[in-house]
Amino acid sequence: MKERIERLKKLTYIPQNEIAWLIEQAELAVKQREIIEENKRQQEVTVHQFRQAQKDIQQLSGDRKRYKQALEKIITNLNFAITVAQNELEGDA
């Protein structure tokens, strides 16, 4: 391709078939550029979604930790209440 371009640069008259080839190459270059731009855009969207997912995971992990701690407190309080109730029942017996 480079050789063909260099040969065309040296010509003072460019034949019609060579002009058609140049137009075809220009159209291909435009399509390739559009594809590259779309791929970049999709990559940016994917990166944004990935970062958002990371934030969501961190938040959910924090929520999970808080819920676990709250549940452990509830279980401890229930165990204490059960023990108190058992002691009262044993005392009544």
Q: What is the pLDDT of residues 41-77, one digit of tens each?
A: 999 999 999 999 999 999 999 999 999 999 999 999 9
Measured distance CA(43)–CA(53) in Å, rounded? 15
Whose structure tokens read 């044993």? Answer: 90
What pTM did the predictor assign?
0.56
Q: How far apart are CA 14 and CA 20, in angstroms?
A: 10
Does pLDDT of 1 surpass 90?
no
Looking at residue 80, its pLDDT comes to 95
Give the DSSP H/E element, type plus range, for residue 49.
helix 16-92
Using DSSP's 3-state secondary structure scheme, residue 70 falls into helix
Please state the length of the chain.
Answer: 93
Banded model confidence at residue 10, pLDDT cuts 50, 70, 90: confident
Average pLDDT score over residue span 29-41: 97
